[in-house]
Structure 1
Amino acid sequence: MKLAFIILSLVGLAAAQDTPLPAKDKFHLFLLVGQSNMAGRGTVEQQDKTPHPRVLMLSKEGTWVPAVDPMHFDKPAVGVGLGKTFGQIIAEANPGVTIGLIPCAVGGSHIDAWQPGVFYAPTKSHPWDDMAKRAAIALKSGTLKGILWHQGEGDSLPDLAPAYEPKLHDLVVRLRKELNAPEVPFIAGQMGKFDGVPWTPEKVIVDQAHQDLAKKVPHTAFVSAEELKHKGDKVHFDSASFRELGKRYAEAFLKMTGK
């Protein structure tokens, strides 16, 4: 019985590793970084478990597999996020390519956690270093086309918010340098603006940094979260809103690039 289980496990691993990949220039990669609203906390439904034939994701083990939710693996609460919907829309807009999503978000992480060598205790991980390793694996097979960022709640505090904007600009520069992609599109999403959940002054400061990004840093864009809903916790989007947010990210990318 134990031997049969081992054999089945090995067969499953081989299948994951043998996912056919297109030529490198036809495999368009997108890095998914930030905190929990990038990782996704929505309830997984059947549509979220149904893969698109030309949308893959880099698994926790570093292999290319069909993209389904949950895509991230930062915390046990992980669920539906924006990445799968984004990938599907970009794939449909580009029939000749395959989309590769690189999930690297870390729930709760402050922007300061996204620095080389920084250990983030709540998830016992190194957000930047882990991202760099996963991106290096992915870039062996494909071409980076965009970076999607959703983060800011962790920095909406009196002692952190005033310094957020320069840190965000620095992050864009460092990511592009790390990935050897000086002009790669960088898209930042808005934190949840939920009915009945007033924003603190610090959240307004962080939001303004997101909204002003495209005016101050080349090849960047901002995605609104207006009229989206939370899952009941007043922090995380619900599943339908995550899918809508993925659509908005895709629309922003297609507007930036025309493809």
Structure 2
Amino acid sequence: MRTLLVLLLLSAPLPALKAADPPKPVKVFILAGQSNMEGKAKVSLAEYQAQQPATRDLFKHWQKDGKWIERDDVWIKFLDRKGKLTIGYGSPQCIGPELEFGTVVGDRFTEPVLLIKTAWGGRSLYRDFRSPSAGLPPDAALNKMLADLKKQKGKENATLDDVKKPFGDSYRAMLSEVSDTLTNPKKHFPDYADQGYEIAGFVWFQGWNDMISADATAEYAANLAHFIRDVRKDLKAPKLPFVVGQMGVEGANPSTNIKKFKDAQAAVMNVPEFRGDVALVKTDAFWDTDAEAVFKKGWRENLDEWNKVGSDYPYHYFGSAKTMCKIGRAFGTAVLELRGETK
């Protein structure tokens, strides 16, 4: 009887093997802007704060046995640098919002995440990132720029075309960087398995160069609305979740000019077509008052104390590693909320 049972089991057809589910498309997030999106918090400061009881929880998931880890599931390309997300993808030897942004979205998705960072210091939305539908500024403004340009040594023969040429350069460079990365992802990321991708969100963190110009501030609300529409059109993503990082320098009580600029940024939230798919993150909530206190009493005269809290100037949020981490987390949370994917 036992032998018969064994024979029956051996002769029974094997159950069909279930095909493995194909890999899901990579979730792509674009992080764009100027120097604060680059990130100016020095790695040396993050390394110090990662060991301190008051701040180590901000970094503990990025360290193992006292060393910085890489995330296999979150990739990043920042112009000429690319790889698995880890410390140091801000300006050289610095971190920016990408570190904790990548933590938030990487923890949320089971599929790989790709961050494409397109940021350059000293760029304005008024000129450099100006998108096609914004057109050019009025002729009077262009002629004034030409007159100012001709005052510069060696520029006496400048023409109106010389003035017009830089408009939109960074916008085009941003699109080119995104296109180059996504045309052949495997060239940049060997772990890419030809599973396709979804452009899942866009974060815009920029403003200083517009804030210090009355003309640029006056146009900012309109130019930002044009920018959002054009980004969505050019990326073929009409409802792309779009997060705006509102300028936060000087914290909760800024000067009149900064407040005026912040209001111009916030005005995008009043545009009916953007309701539900554009979010504003108030980065002043993450202003580092500890770094501010040391900076104000003289960072050079108190260098040991300064190196524990800051690493740059106020327009770069003091190069505060704490601030960059908190801003990155806020950006990640905001984009997930827009996608309806918060836990």
Q: Which interval holds the TM-score relative to the shorter structure?
A: 0.7 to 0.9
Alignment-derived partner of residue 244 in structure 2:
188
Q: Deviations over 1:124-150 (max 9, x none)?
A: x94222211111123334221111001
User: Given the superposition, is the C-alpha separation of residues 227 and 84 from structure 1 closer, same or farther in structure 2, using an over 3 Å criterion?
Assistant: closer
**203, 209, 212: which one pairs with 2:267?**
212
User: Given the superposition, is the C-alpha separation of residues 159 and 212 from structure 1 closer, same or farther in structure 2, using an over 3 Å criterion?
Assistant: closer
**310, 313, 316: which one pairs with 1:236?**
316
Q: How does 1:17-166 map to 2 (within 5 A)?
A: 23=23, 25-44=24-43, 45-46=46-47, 49-61=68-80, 65-72=83-90, 79-94=94-109, 96-111=110-125, 112-115=127-130, 119=166, 126-140=169-183, 141=185, 142-156=197-211, 157-166=213-222
Cα distance, 1:72 vs. partner? Answer: 4.9
Q: Deviations over 1:88-143 (max 9, x none)?
A: 1111112x2111010101112110201369548xxxx9422221111112333422
CA–CA distance in 2 between the matches of 1:182 and 1:51? 33
Letter in 2 for 1:166: A
Is the Cα–Cα contact under 8 Å of residues 37 and 151 in structure 1 kept in the other structure?
Answer: yes
**232, 241, 254: which one pairs with 1:199?**
254
Is the Cα–Cα contact under 8 Å of residues 29 and 114 in structure 2 kept in the other structure?
Answer: yes
Letter in 2 for 1:244: K
User: Given the superposition, is the C-alpha separation of residues 118 and 56 from structure 1 closer, same or farther in structure 2, using an over 3 Å criterion?
Assistant: farther
Is the Cα–Cα contact under 8 Å of residues 165 and 206 in structure 1 kept in the other structure?
Answer: no
CA–CA distance in 1 between the matches of 2:231 and 2:33? 12
Letter in 1 for 2:42: T
Quick check: 186-195 or 171-180, which moved more?
186-195
Residue 174 of structure 1: SS of its match in structure 2?
helix
Question: Does 2:233 correspond to 1:177?
Answer: yes
Letter in 2 for 1:186: F
Is the Cα–Cα contact under 8 Å of residues 118 and 127 in structure 1 kept in the other structure?
Answer: no
User: What runs of 5+ residues in structure 1 fail to find an aligned partner?
Assistant: 1-21
Residue 184 of structure 1: SS of its match in structure 2?
coil
TM-score by length of 1: 0.78
Letter in 2 for 1:52: R
Question: Percent of counterpart pairs with the same letter?
Answer: 22
Structure number with bigger Rg: 2
Cα distance, 1:152 vs. partner? Answer: 1.2
Aligned residues between the structures: 227
User: Given the superposition, is the C-alpha separation of residues 118 and 179 from structure 1 closer, same or farther in structure 2, using an over 3 Å criterion?
Assistant: farther
Letter in 2 for 1:70: G
Residue 138 of structure 1: SS of its match in structure 2?
helix
CA–CA distance in 2 between the matches of 1:133 and 1:227? 32
Is the Cα–Cα contact under 8 Å of residues 149 and 187 in structure 1 kept in the other structure?
Answer: yes
Quick check: 178-187 or 201-210, which moved more?
201-210
CA–CA distance in 1 between the matches of 2:270 and 2:73? 33
User: What runs of 5+ residues in structure 2 fail to find an aligned partner?
Assistant: 1-21, 48-58, 63-67, 132-163, 186-196, 292-309
TM-score by length of 2: 0.60
RMSD: 2.6
Q: Deviations over 1:181-226 (max 9, x none)?
A: 111011001212435x963433222211322323312410001121
